[in-house]
Homo-oligomer: A and B are copies of this chain.
Amino acid sequence: MEIDYSNIRVIGFDADDTLWVNETYFREAEEKVGMLLSHFETPNKIDQELFRMEIKNLPTYGYGIKGFVLSMVELSIELSNGTVSNKIISEILRIGKDMIDKPVQLLDGVEEVLISLSKDYKLILATKGDLLDQERKLEKSGLNQYFHHIEVLSEKQEANYQKLLNHLDINPTEFLMIGNSLKSDILPLINIGAKAIHVPFHTTWQHEKVERNATNGLNYKTVKSLREILNFFKQN
Chain A residues packing against B (C-beta within 8 Å):
60-62, 66-67, 69-70, 73-74, 77, 80, 82-87, 89-90, 93, 96-97, 100-101, 130-132, 135, 149, 152, 154, 167
Determine the chain B residues whose CB is within 8 A of the CB of A101 once the complex forms: 60
List chain B residues, Cβ under 8 A from A100: 60-61
A82-B86, A87-B82, A167-B149 known; A131 vs B77 contact (CB < 8 Å):
no
CA gap between A154 and B137 in the complex, in Å: 13
Q: Write the nearest CB–CB distance from A234 to chain B, whole angstroms.
A: 31
With contact pairs A62-B131, A66-B66, A154-B132 given, residues A86 and B97 touching in the complex (Cβ less than 8 Å): no
A76 — nearest CB in chain B belongs to which residue? B86
A18 to B: closest C-beta gap in Å:
19
Closest to A83 in B: B86
Given A82-B86, A135-B154, A149-B167, do A66 and B77 touch, yes or no (CB 8 Å)?
no
Listed by A's residue number, 28 A-B pairs whose Cβ atoms lie within 8 Å are A60-B97, A60-B100, A60-B101, A61-B132, A62-B131, A66-B67, A66-B70, A69-B70, A70-B93, A70-B96, A73-B73, A73-B89, A73-B93, A74-B90, A77-B86, A77-B89, A82-B86, A82-B87, A82-B90, A83-B86, A130-B130, A130-B131, A131-B131, A131-B152, A131-B154, A135-B154, A149-B167, A152-B152
